Structure 1
Amino acid sequence: MTFWSKVFTVTLLGWVLGGCTKDGQLTEAKKNVVMVEVTSQTWDYRLPWNPGTVSSARGAGFVIRGKRILTNAHVISGARYITVQREADPRKYPAKVKFVAHDCDLAMVEVEDPEFFKGTTALALGNIPELESVVSVYGFPIGGDRLSVTRGVVSRIDYNAYTHSGRESHLAIQIDAAINPGNSGGPVMQADKVVGVAFQGFRGDVAQNVGYMIPTPVIRRFLQDVEDGKYDHYVDIAIRWMTLENPAMRKYLGRPDDGLGVVVTDIFSEGSSDGILQKGDVLLSIDGHPIESDGSVRLQGQPVQLEEIVERKFAGDPVELELWRNRKLDRATLKLRPAEMFSMYEFLYEPSPRYVLYGGLVFQPLTSNLMGMLAGSADLRLRQTYSLFGQDQIYRETPEPVILSSVLPDPLNVYLRGLAGQVVREINGKRIRTLADVEPALREGGERTVIRFEGDQRPAVLKKAEVDLATPRIMAQYGITEVSRSGIEGRRLAKGSYSRTESK
C-alpha cells in the first residue's frame, strides 16, 4: 500500500460486464445475487454539526457461506436504512452492515429474517482468472430492475488505486467492457465460481470500456480478517523505494548485474520497518520471493508489486527480508502493523466529523474530507501541510494537524474571518498537536485567548468573558446543538495522538 492518495479519475458506480453464461451458472446467480438498496446520509464537513443530506442509491451483492451477503463498502457507506431483494422476489428484506472495510471497498451485510435465505446456496470463491479469459458480471444496472448479465475480457492484473479509500492501493483486475451505473458489489464469475467483485471504472469522458473488479485474494483476506468479530485494516511495510535498473547505481552500491533488488529511500517512523531497515538498503527478496529490479515479484506465476506479499498478511505477522547492506548480504525480520500515521489521507464515512466551537471559530482536524470541501480555497500552508504530512513525517511532531476551518460571523469575531483556513500552532501558549489539545488549551491563560497559526504572525485574540456571552447566541443563530465533538472514538491516528490524549 502507498500512503499518498493517487490521482485516479475513476467513478465509483455500478457497472455491468460479463462472460459466456452457462445455464448452471445463471441459475446459481439468480438464487444468490441480490439488489442492495440504501438510504444514506453524508456528513457536511464544512458545517460539521450538520448531519448532511439524505440520498438513495442501489448496488448489488451476493450470498456467501454462512448466510452472509458480500458487497462494496461504497454501496453501504453512511447507510441509515438498507434493504435487499432477490431476483423475481417482490419482497424487500431489511438488512444491516455487519463489517465494513473502506480500505479495500468491501462490506458484509446480514439479514435477520431466515426466510430471505430459503433457496440460496451461497456462491464459492475461485482464483484469479487468466488474462484474455472471459468473465460474467451479474447485477442490477440502470435501465431495469431485473438481474442483468453481460460479458467482459480480463485485460490487466495490476496493483491499483482503490478510489473509495482515498489512499489505498491493492491488487485489481481490469476488464475490457462497458460500464453502467448501479452494479457495484455484483459478483464477477467464471464457470460457477466468483473471481471478483465489480467496484470501479473510469468516467466515460476519460476511457471507454474500462472497468475494475476486486480479486479473490483481497476478498479472502477481508473474510479472514473479520473471523474474530472485528475488522483490523491492512498492514503496511511503511517504506518508500526506488527501482535499481540503473547500471551506474548498481555499481555504486556494489551490486552485481543480476536484475534483482530495489533501494530503500525512506523509512516511516512508527511503521513496520522503523528501527529495522535503513536508508540505502537493497531489498533482494521478501518471504523467499526474489524482488526484481523494477519492484515486482512472482506470485502464482504472475508478476505483482512486492507489496502484494505484505497485502495478504495481518497485524503481527512476520516478514522475512533478504537485503544488501554495506556491500554485504544481510537478513531482517519485520513484524507488520497498520500504517495508522497515514490515516489522515483516508476518506471518512461513518464517523461524525470532529470539531470544537469557540466564539464562532470552528476548529477541525485536517482530513481528506475537509480538504475536499475546501478545494482550491485552502491556504497555501494548509495545502503544504496536507501534501507533506507523510512525506516529511510531520506526524511525528503533529500527529493530527488542527485548522481554523471557518469563522461563523458574529460581532465578536467578524474581524477574524481572514484567518480561516490556517493551521493552528498554539493556543494560550500551548502547542496544538491534536484536536484533543484544543479545549484544554482554551481554558488556559488569563482574560484573553490568544491563538497563533503556522507561518503567520497575526494572532487571533478574543476576550473570554465575551466568548462566554456570545456562545449561546452563536449556537442558536447557526443551529448548533453541541459546542464540541472531539473524542477519538476508535479513530485511527498516529501513535502520538493516542499517547498524548491518554496522558491528559
Structure 2
Amino acid sequence: MNIALLSAVGSLLLLQSAPAAETPIVTPRGDLGADERATIDLFQNARGSVVFISTRERVTNFWTRNVYTVPRGSGSGLVWDNAGHIVTNYHVIEGASEAQIQLVDGREFNARLVGVSPQHDLAVLKIGGAGFAAPRRIPIGTSSDLQVGQNVFAIGNPFGLDWTLTKGIVSALDRSLPNEGGPDIRHLIQTDAAINPGNSGGPLLDSAGRLIGINTAIYSPSGASAGIGFAVPVDTVMRVVPQLIENGRYIRPTLGIESDDDINDRLKRAADIEGVFVLRVAPGSVADRAGLIPARRTRRGVVPGDIVVALNGRPVDRVGDLLARLDDFSVGERVELTLLRSGDRRRVNLQLEAGN
C-alpha cells in the first residue's frame, strides 16, 4: 500500500471518529434580582428629567472682525418645573454665550439664562414657552438625613455619552471645597459613584429615586473619575434655586463686614491669633450700628480692630468659612458673633441683612 493510499485512509478514519459540532444552548436567565429591577425602574423613571446641555462661545476673528460662535463644552441638567426651568452647575455655562438643551425624547431648545449663584455652583436656564410639555419631574428628597454607606445613583452625560447611569454610595458628608474669590462651597455630598466631566449639573438620587443633590465636581489628578465626586446637597438647591428663578440672583445674608483671605492669613501669623480680622465695615450696616471696628493702617503697620473668632459658638478662622457659615442662615435671622478686641473677648447678637 503506497503512502498516498495510507494518508487517505487515515484522513477518512479521523473524519469518521471526530464528534459532530454542537450548537450551544442558551440557558434561560430567570427573573432579574429585586435590586436590579429597582435600579432599572429608577433609571427609567428619572432619565426623562435629565437634559443634555451643549454650550457655545462667541468669538471675533482678529483679521476679519467677523463674529461667530464655536463649541465651548457640554454638561447635564435637570428639568425643575413645568415652566421649563433647568437647573445645572454654574461652571457648565460660565463664559458661554449660547446654550442648547436636548431632552431625552429628542426635542431641542435654545435656552436663556435666568440666574446664577457662583458661590453655590448653581445656575438656572429656561426653555420652552406657552404649551411647553415638561417631562415627568424627579421627586425632591432631602439631604439632611443622608447616611454614609447608603446607595446613590448619578445620571448625566459624561464625556458627551448621553444619559449614563452610575451607582455608588455616600462616601462622606459635609465636605467643603474652596471657592476662589468667594465663600467655600459647603455641605457637599461625597460619593464614589463614577462622576466624570459632562456629569456636572446632573442629578444624584437616593435608592427611592428622589433628588438628593446636583453633581458638581470630581477630585482627580487625571481629570477622570477616581472614585471621589461631589454633589451640591438638595437642601442647598431648594434654598437657592427659587431665589434665582424669582430674582435672577441669590440674595445672601450679610453682616456688612469685609475681609480678605491673603491679608487675613498674614495678620493671623503676625498676631498668632486664629480668626477673621475685620478689614472694613460697611457704613450703615448692622456691623456698623453694632460698633464693630475694622483694622487700620498706621506708620508702624496694620493695627487690628475686631477679630471674629466664632459664629454661634463655632470657631471660624478663614474668610470663606465665615461667609459659608452665614449662608446657612436667612436674611432676618439673628446670629451671635464672638469677637476679640485688644485681647478682650465679647459676644454681640446681630440680625443678618440682605447682601449684594
Q: Give the TM-score normalised by structure 1.
A: 0.48
| Structure 1 residue 148 displacement after superposition | 0.8
CA distance in 2, matches of 1:265, 1:229: 31
Match of 2:122 in 1: 106
CA contact under 8 A between 1:175 and 1:210: conserved in structure 2?
yes
Q: Which runs of 5+ in 1 are unaligned?
A: 1-18, 243-248, 250-261, 297-304, 341-504
| Structure 1 residue 234 displacement after superposition | 3.7
CA contact under 8 A between 1:103 and 1:234: conserved in structure 2?
no
CA distance in 2, matches of 1:270, 1:324: 16
CA distance in 2, matches of 1:85, 1:126: 27
CA distance in 1, matches of 2:112, 2:103: 16
C-alpha change, 1:336 and 1:26, in structure 2 (3 Å) is: same
Which structure 2 residues correspond to residues 38-117 of structure 1 after superposition, within 5 A? 38-41=55-58, 54-67=70-83, 68-87=85-104, 89-113=105-129, 116-117=132-133
SS at match of 1:103: helix
CA distance in 2, matches of 1:231, 1:212: 23
C-alpha change, 1:223 and 1:126, in structure 2 (3 Å) is: same
CA contact under 8 A between 1:291 and 1:306: conserved in structure 2?
no
C-alpha change, 1:220 and 1:119, in structure 2 (3 Å) is: closer
C-alpha change, 1:263 and 1:280, in structure 2 (3 Å) is: farther
| Structure 1 residue 280 displacement after superposition | 6.0
Q: 1:127-162, CA deviations, whole angstroms, 9 ceiling, x for partnerless residues?
A: 2432232211101122633x1110133223222124
Q: How many residues align?
A: 286
| Structure 1 residue 216 displacement after superposition | 2.2
CA distance in 2, matches of 1:42, 1:153: 42
| Structure 1 residue 60 displacement after superposition | 0.9
Identical aligned pairs, as a percentage?
A: 23
Q: Give the TM-score normalised by structure 2.
A: 0.65
CA contact under 8 A between 2:152 and 2:167: conserved in structure 1?
yes
SS at match of 1:152: strand
Which structure 2 residues correspond to residues 314-325 of structure 1 after superposition, within 5 A? 318-323=334-339
CA contact under 8 A between 1:64 and 1:70: conserved in structure 2?
yes
- Asked if 1:229 is matched to 2:247, the reply is yes
Which structure 2 residues correspond to residues 184-203 of structure 1 after superposition, within 5 A? 184-190=200-206, 191-203=208-220
Which structure 2 residues correspond to residues 142-221 of structure 1 after superposition, within 5 A? 142=159, 144-145=161-162, 147-156=163-172, 157-162=174-179, 167-171=182-186, 172-190=188-206, 191-205=208-222, 208-221=226-239
SS at match of 1:124: coil
| Structure 1 residue 197 displacement after superposition | 0.9
Q: 1:379-426, CA deviations, whole angstroms, 9 ceiling, x for partnerless residues?
A: xxxxxxxxxxxxxxxxxxxxxxxxxxxxxxxxxxxxxxxxxxxxxxxx
Q: 1:15-35, CA deviations, whole angstroms, 9 ceiling, x for partnerless residues?
A: xxxx98634432331221111
C-alpha change, 1:277 and 1:40, in structure 2 (3 Å) is: same
After superposing the two structures, state which structure 1 stretch, 101-110 or 216-225, moved more: 216-225
SS at match of 1:205: coil
Match of 1:500 in 2: none
SS at match of 1:214: strand
CA distance in 2, matches of 1:321, 1:106: 29
C-alpha change, 1:50 and 1:173, in structure 2 (3 Å) is: farther
CA distance in 2, matches of 1:125, 1:153: 16
Which structure 2 residues correspond to residues 5-24 of structure 1 after superposition, within 5 A? 22-24=39-41
CA contact under 8 A between 1:64 and 1:123: conserved in structure 2?
no
Amino acid at match of 2:234: T
SS at match of 1:74: helix
RMSD of aligned alpha carbons: 3.9
Which entry has the higher C-alpha Rg, 1 or 2? 2
SS at match of 2:215: strand
| Structure 1 residue 65 displacement after superposition | 3.4
| Structure 1 residue 125 displacement after superposition | 4.0
Amino acid at match of 1:214: V
Picking from 33, 43, 57, the partner of 2:50 is: 33
- Asked if 1:309 is matched to 2:331, the reply is no
Match of 1:136 in 2: 153
CA distance in 1, matches of 2:137, 2:194: 29
Picking from 287, 293, 314, the partner of 1:291 is: 314
| Structure 1 residue 224 displacement after superposition | 3.9
